[in-house]
Amino acid sequence: MVSDEEFQKEILEKLDALTKLVAVTANAQTLLGGKSQKDQIKVLADLRLSRNIIALVVGTTPEAVSVRLSEMKSKQKAEKKSILSPEEESEER
């Protein structure tokens, strides 16, 4: 059984996602217009929307969204690693 607190938290998370989705939909041309699917996924992920919602908005599957997000994360890690000096890199570990 779900506690009242857990239930309220879940409802608030869903309301937050709906609010963001409405905002994105209302401004879709400005936020997403002319951007590649990958860039659209990044914008929506930055808004902390779920991969299911992102998939619906950009017209793909949740699995494809996961793959794109994973690729972006790997690329960011590689870029960060190439920027760090050897001393900074050892501090990161």
Domain ranges for the chain, please list them.
4-92
**What is the 3-class SS of the chain, one letter each residue?**
CCCHHHHHHHHHHHHHHHHHHHHHHHCHHHHHCCCCHHHHHHHHHHCCCCHHHHHHHHCCCHHHHHHHHHHHHHHHHHHHHHHCCHHHHHHHC
User: How confident is the prediction along the chain (93 residues), in pLDDT tens digits per residue?
Assistant: 779 999 999 999 889 888 888 877 777 777 788 899 999 999 999 988 899 989 988 999 999 999 999 999 999 888 888 887 555 555 555
